[in-house]
Amino acid sequence: MPKSIKKIKRIYLDFASSALPFSANPGAIHELGVKEKNKLEDARKVIAGILNARSDEIIFTAGATEGNNLAILGLFQNVRQYFKLPHIVTTNIEHASVLEVCKHLEKTKQAEVTYVPVAPNGIVDPKKIKKALKPNTVLVSVMYANNEIGTIQPIKEIAKEIRHYRKNKKGKALPVFHTDATQAVNYLPINVIQLGADLMSFNSAKIYGPKGVGILYVRKYTPIGKIMFGGDQEFGLRPGTENTVLAVELAKALQITEKIKEKEVKRLTKLRDYFIASLHQIFSSCALPRIRVGTLGDKKFDEATLLTNGDLKNRLPNNVNITIPNMPSDLLIIELSTRGIMASAKSACKSGDGKTSHVIQAINSKAKETDGSLRFSLGRQTTKKDIDYTVKALSEILTKLKKWYTPTPI
């Protein structure tokens, strides 16, 4: 090195911006800040490329709940001035972060909301969404795949109906179409152009990334505004210092997900179908005599004592959801947990409310709090041995607890 060139000593004097020099504020214009900003934008480009979107259409959030709130409230507050009473269309099986926002707007008389019911198989009819549209409809929000029963909604068809409706009205920007794709990203196509969504939200935790980060895709020129106030980060839609570390990890997780998606979907589909078949077998075994199995659409539904919830084909490859009448979910989950098996009854966000799942009630009006619904969601580490062990454990549990079980005689 020439004597005339001296190594520059770096002194960090921006602790008010970020107390961690190795993770500087990406909004700072000094060297370390610029490096963090570059990392953030590189992660944004990766995500945009996978979604077939523009980089400036990707908004980093703290997760899907924030993304859903930003999508609904951000759109609603930005267009409400043009309507006496704006109208929102959604379904009756959405995640709480969509339903609770809609209920709040409805309760406070800021908007009217139509909750389109799904069919008994857990899938909404696009024609019913179309029928619900009105001149004052500003937003349609339908999840890509349900988080409890795994049913896949016809997003492309719904988007097509909305586009057709927009062409036949004066304000062609409305209604806007939002989809919560949180459960779908692992297994389904997420090309936003092909899907036809204007807004799409998901988080990192569901794709094996860190908790506390997600994204909201906002199609260019979609009339959405901020719902929090402060700085101008995230193109003015999401104030607050960006978490570069989490954004980078989200991008990495999404890359891995896309790389293994096709192979993992095939593997898990086989495992899921094997699991369902095995569950039906134990309910027909000598350990639990005089038991009938079925699905909600069966003619002999009233006699069924093991119900497979949701459409058996149009569902996520990792989802198995069953109902066992007269067998409390909490009891089953605890019994499974003592055997080292972790399952759930419904969304973790609502697991402590003591009520029957609103999704199960939506597809089965006869569902009672005493009916035990179990959600088994398979993942990258799940093996056939895991399924066999679970089926055996559940058989033992049901035999042990059969005093609660009152099957209808055949």
Q: Which residues are catalytic?
A: 349
Helices and strands of the chain, counted as H and E runs: 10, 11
As a whole number of angstroms, the distance between CA 92 and CA 119 comes to 10
76 contacts 111 by C-beta, under 8 angstroms: yes
Element (H, E) at 330: helix 329-338
Residue reference for tokens 């679970």: 390
Q: Where are the alpha helices (DSSP H) in 121-174?
A: 126-132, 155-167
89 contacts 116 by C-beta, under 8 angstroms: yes
DSSP annotation of 345: S
Amino acid at 328: P
Q: Is 218 helix (H, G, I), strand (E, B) or coil?
A: strand
Give exposure, 236-271, as e/b (b: 16+ Cβ within 10 Å): ebbeeebbbbbbbbbbbbbeebeeebeebbebbbeb
**Which tokens in the block code for residue 114?**
């139509």
Residue 344: closest CA among 327, 325, 322? 322
CA 158, chain centre distance (Å): 17
